[in-house]
Amino acid sequence: MFIATSLDGFIARPNGDLDWLPSPDVANGEDFGYESFMKTIDTLVMGRGTYEKVLTFGSWPYGKTKVVVLTGRPLPTPPKSANVDAMAGDPRDIVRALGERGAKSLYVDGGVTIQRFLDAGLIQRLIITRIPVLLGDGLPLFGRLGRDVRLEHVGTRHWPNGLVQSEYRVQA
């Protein structure tokens, strides 16, 4: 997973708004590691709420990367250039089915989806960028888990604008 949170652990405002996130520093070529990360994955798995939020961005940010939206309902029409499918079910079954279709490295995105996949033991790497803002309320990155998830710190980096990004490996 690769995600940003407020310093108090929220990934969005209560209404799902992301207006507090800084824009990538395109002028200086700084995307806070996002492009490098995207080169390591072949399939992005996200929840329906995340998908619907992304559709409001104006342009499709994932290029030709395969995107799988977890939902049991018909999806709003994806942009023409997007490579989008819908699936539903248990995270283990989804990972198994995607593996059978050739997926090797998944990027899991969206609060509830991350929580479900983490609880199922299906996330090995977490990259969390903390944004220096306190929201006070919102949609949390982490919720209840059925077990402790031990993490190994891989590294931390920071930028002059106050962003702090830490990477962790999930311990077996």
Q: What CATH number is given to the structural domain containing 98?
A: 3.40.430.10
Q: Which of 172, 167, 171, 169 is nearest to 32 (CA)?
A: 167
Residue 28 banded pLDDT, cuts 50, 70, 90: low
**65 falls within a domain:** yes
| In a domain? residue 19 | no
Q: How close are the terminal C-alpha atoms of the chain, in Å? A: 17
Residue 172's Cβ-side half-sphere holds a number of Cα atoms within 13 Å equal to: 0
Domain, as residue range, for 115: 2-14+30-170
Stretch 115-136: mean pLDDT, rounded? 95
Q: Is 90 inside any structural domain?
A: yes
Does residue 121 sit within a domain? yes
Domain-located, residue 21: no
With respect to residue 68, please indicate whether it lies within any of the assigned structural domains. yes
Burial of 17: CB neighbours in 10 Å, binned 0-12, 13-18, 19+: middle
Report the pLDDT value the prediction gives residue 24, as an integer from 0 to 100.
Answer: 66
Strands 2-6, 125-131: pairing is parallel
Would 37 be classed as within a structural domain? yes
H-state helical runs in the chain: 34-38, 48-54, 91-100, 111-119
| Predicted TM-score of the model (pTM) | 0.90
Q: What is the pLDDT of residue 170?
A: 96
- What domain count does the chain have? 1
- Does a structural domain hold residue 119? yes
